[in-house]
Amino acid sequence: MPDAPSVPVSTDRFDALARLVTPQADRQQLSVRAPYDDSVVGTVPLCSPDDVQAAVTDARTAGDEWAAWPVEDRVAVFHRFHDALLDRRESLLDVIQSETGKARADALEEILDAAATARYYTTIAERELTSTHRAGAIPLMTKTVEHHHPVGVVGIISPWNYPLSLSVSEAIPALLAGNAVVLKPDEGTPFTALWALELLRECGLPDDVFQVVTGEGPRLGEPLIEQVAYVSFTGSTEVGRIVAETAGRHLTDCSLELGGKNPLLVLDDADVEKAARGAVRGCFANAGQLCISIERIYVHETVADEFRDALIRETRGLTLDAGYDYGHDVGSLLDRELLEKVTTHVEDAVEKGATVLTGGRARPDLGPYFYEPTVLTDVTPEMTLADEETFGPVVSLYEVESVSEAIDRANDSAYGLNASVWTARPQRGEQVAARLDAGTVNVNEAYAAAWASIDAPMGGMKDSGVGRRHGRHGLLKYTESQTVATQRLGLLSPPKRGKQVWATGATLGLRAWKRLAEVLP
Ligand code: NAD
């Protein structure tokens, strides 16, 4: 085993974070490990379904008061959170890296994302949550107002790959909308969420409004989904189906952000060098453990050789290592299970005729779960990784004869999360984007342009999800909309006598209304 850099966070600090798990009880402990060397960094309580119930009950009580705060006071908490997060980023980067094994620059992306999310939602919250007058049933006679009330308690179930972005960035709009939140982070990465919880309390979020329960998903999932008003799930498509079924049984509203097998298209007019650099970022950011990362590349035959050479060169230029600094580009995979999945996918492909252009092996000399950034070609449909999400640093390169073929093959997938198009003509890229089955499409970027456009919705088509995060919808999904219509004059029902006259009048009225709508601006 190589000498791994020592974890830069003390055991006492991890213990202090573990004590934030509510409710505190004498529970069995769950060990959290550092992927760099598989050492235990700390433990958190293995919460029970009763703990979930207690957390939801406490959250509900605290949430009632929080919901009564003026929106600007709730906004002020997240303004402070934004600044504090950036000020204390080094300490949080250490925690994120300790439990994920990712490269520091990948961890920083999470902090930038959470801060940008806080900034965005603090900017729009007041406007979007203010009650709005709507066109009434009959102009002047009906006054109609749309309100947005908090739903109550929101449950968030999050994965390990982006433990800050996919838990706290999701909690921000839910809390700003006046809800309480109970978060169940992944078993492997609870400390990042606990660190953020501590900071939010320091920034003025009342105790109990945001709770973290730690433990096993299959045991805590149903009790959580059963008791909350809304569940936001991010994770695999397989578990997403279970969450959807459970939510359906309890009529709990939900959004599901699931897996992807995301394509990147290099058109015949693309700047090949730039496309290769973008592709490398898209394939190997976070060691490929990114729902929107690229696992399939379709390159036009006229630029295929040039692109392949640039892709191999750029991939080989990546530095792979462990370290709590910015000294390397790619970090470790999370654990043995993921390493085995990546290894099996590549071995299966090679056995069935795929060619490894670069990478293709684990690197135990760097740490137990390191795997080299890998580019494959000659991938055929019977290989597991042709369709299945690998969720690691492996991409398949395919040559195509036309743009239409690239689009058809990109769309030939059960997933529809993210896609990327490279071309010298952005308008052409946007036309191609419109033909792709993907919730987000990046033109001349791999994933970051769409993800970081927080004002626009983000989510998956097909098996990649239900619902969206980001944008105004990402806030309003955590509200119950309510329409209050006050009839000022008359009744909208037919009179007891003279229904024929009423019918004629109503018909004429509708015709006149349509005509008016056509002529008025
Ligand atoms: P996962 O589905 O195994 O786990 C996600 C969460 O669900 C964890 O907190 C886990 O404890 C919990 N869970 C497990 N079983 C459960 C059950 N029966 N009921 C309720 N909760 C349960 O996913 P993962 O392996 O942690 O994450 C990787 C997957 O997530 C990949 O498929 C990736 O593409 C996807 N993902 C999607 C997005 C997105 O925005 N679309 C973002 C990140 C990751």
CATH number at residue 332: 3.40.309.10
pLDDT, tens only, 111-162:
999 999 999 999 999 999 999 999 999 989 999 999 999 999 999 999 999 9
Task: Tell me the C-alpha distance between 274 and 281, whole Å.
Answer: 11
Task: Tell me the C-alpha distance between 350 and 278, whole Å.
Answer: 26
pLDDT, residue 33, reads 98
Task: Tell me the C-alpha distance between 84 and 107, whole Å.
Answer: 17
Q: Looking at the domain assignment, is residue 126 inside a domain? A: yes
Q: Looking at the domain assignment, is residue 395 inside a domain? A: yes
Among protein residues, the one whose CA lies closest to atom 40 of ligand 1: 257
pLDDT over 90 at 22, yes or no: no
pLDDT over 80 at 8, yes or no: yes
Considering the domain architecture, whether residues 164 and 248 belong to the same structural domain is answered as yes
pLDDT, tens only, 228-283:
999 999 999 999 999 999 999 999 999 999 999 999 999 999 999 999 999 999 99
pLDDT, residue 83, reads 98
Among protein residues, the one whose CA lies closest to atom 13 of ligand 1: 217
Residue 295, amino acid: E
Considering the domain architecture, whether residues 442 and 429 belong to the same structural domain is answered as yes
Percent of the chain scoring above 70 in pLDDT: 99
pLDDT, residue 271, reads 98
Range of the domain at 183: 11-258+472-479
Asked if residue 418 has its Cβ within 6 Å of ligand 1, the reply is no
Judge if pTM exceeds 0.95: yes
pLDDT, residue 26, reads 76
Domain count, the chain: 2
**How far does the centroid of ligand 1 lie from the alpha carbon of residue 237, in Å?**
8
pLDDT, tens only, 281-338:
999 999 999 999 999 999 999 999 999 999 999 999 999 999 999 999 999 999 999 9
Q: Which residue is catalytic, options 110, 170, 226, 257?
A: 257
110 labelled catalytic: no
Distance from the first to the final alpha carbon of the chain: 73
**How far does the centroid of ligand 1 lie from the alpha carbon of residue 17, in Å?**
23
Asked if residue 243 has its Cβ within 6 Å of ligand 1, the reply is yes
Considering the domain architecture, whether residues 408 and 438 belong to the same structural domain is answered as yes
Task: Tell me the C-alpha distance between 224 and 49, whole Å.
Answer: 8
pLDDT, tens only, 415-465:
999 999 999 999 999 999 999 999 999 999 999 999 999 999 999 999 999
Among protein residues, the one whose CA lies closest to atom 20 of ligand 1: 221
Q: Looking at the domain assignment, is residue 101 inside a domain? A: yes
CA distances to 13, 238, 456 from 154, rounded to whole Å, are 28, 22, 22
pLDDT, tens only, 158-175:
999 999 999 999 999 999
pLDDT, residue 520, reads 87
pLDDT, residue 24, reads 63
Considering the domain architecture, whether residues 293 and 335 belong to the same structural domain is answered as yes
| Rg of the chain (C-alpha set) | 26
pLDDT, tens only, 205-219:
999 999 999 999 999
Task: Tell me the C-alpha distance between 16 and 86, whole Å.
Answer: 22
**How far does the centroid of ligand 1 lie from the alpha carbon of residue 144, in Å?**
41
Among protein residues, the one whose CA lies closest to atom 23 of ligand 1: 235
Among protein residues, the one whose CA lies closest to atom 12 of ligand 1: 217
Helix (H, G, I), strand (E, B) or coil at 41: strand
Asked if residue 260 has its Cβ within 6 Å of ligand 1, the reply is yes
Considering the domain architecture, whether residues 173 and 65 belong to the same structural domain is answered as yes
pLDDT, residue 2, reads 76
Mean pLDDT (the chain, rounded): 97
Asked if residue 217 has its Cβ within 6 Å of ligand 1, the reply is yes
Q: Looking at the domain assignment, is residue 491 inside a domain? A: no
| Residue 1 banded pLDDT, cuts 50, 70, 90 | low
**How far does the centroid of ligand 1 lie from the alpha carbon of residue 411, in Å?**
23
pLDDT, residue 25, reads 64
Measured from the Cβ of residue 317, the count of other Cβ atoms closer than 10 Å reads 11
Considering the domain architecture, whether residues 102 and 208 belong to the same structural domain is answered as yes
Asked if residue 367 has its Cβ within 6 Å of ligand 1, the reply is no
Asked if residue 161 has its Cβ within 6 Å of ligand 1, the reply is yes
User: Relative to the CA of 389, which ligand 1 atom is closest?
Assistant: 32
Asked if residue 166 has its Cβ within 6 Å of ligand 1, the reply is yes
Q: Looking at the domain assignment, is residue 170 inside a domain? A: yes
pLDDT, residue 491, reads 86
Among protein residues, the one whose CA lies closest to atom 18 of ligand 1: 218
Backbone angles phi, psi at 361, to 5 degrees: -150, 155
Task: Tell me the C-alpha distance between 16 and 43, whole Å.
Answer: 10
pLDDT, tens only, 333-350:
999 999 999 999 999 999
**How far does the centroid of ligand 1 lie from the alpha carbon of residue 157, in Å?**
8
Asked if residue 242 has its Cβ within 6 Å of ligand 1, the reply is yes
CATH code of the domain containing 81: 3.40.605.10
Percent of the chain scoring above 90 in pLDDT: 96
Among protein residues, the one whose CA lies closest to atom 17 of ligand 1: 218
Q: Looking at the domain assignment, is residue 467 inside a domain? A: no
Mean pLDDT along residues 345-364: 98
Considering the domain architecture, whether residues 20 and 146 belong to the same structural domain is answered as yes
Considering the domain architecture, whether residues 249 and 268 belong to the same structural domain is answered as no
Considering the domain architecture, whether residues 152 and 244 belong to the same structural domain is answered as yes
Considering the domain architecture, whether residues 271 and 401 belong to the same structural domain is answered as yes
Q: Looking at the domain assignment, is residue 6 inside a domain? A: no
**How far does the centroid of ligand 1 lie from the alpha carbon of residue 185, in Å?**
10
Asked if residue 391 has its Cβ within 6 Å of ligand 1, the reply is yes
Mean pLDDT along residues 190-197: 98
**How far does the centroid of ligand 1 lie from the alpha carbon of residue 139, in Å?**
49
Asked if residue 265 has its Cβ within 6 Å of ligand 1, the reply is no
Question: Which is nearest to 415 in space by CA: 181, 256, 281?
Answer: 256
Considering the domain architecture, whether residues 309 and 445 belong to the same structural domain is answered as yes
pLDDT, tens only, 46-84:
999 999 999 999 999 999 999 999 999 999 999 999 999
pLDDT, residue 145, reads 98
Backbone angles phi, psi at 362, to 5 degrees: -75, 160
The strand order across the sheet containing 479-487 reads 132-134, 142-150, 479-487
Task: Tell me the C-alpha distance between 284 and 319, whole Å.
Answer: 11
Asked if residue 460 has its Cβ within 6 Å of ligand 1, the reply is yes
Considering the domain architecture, whether residues 240 and 274 belong to the same structural domain is answered as no
Mean pLDDT along residues 340-361: 98
Q: Looking at the domain assignment, is residue 462 inside a domain? A: no
**How far does the centroid of ligand 1 lie from the alpha carbon of residue 515, in Å?**
52
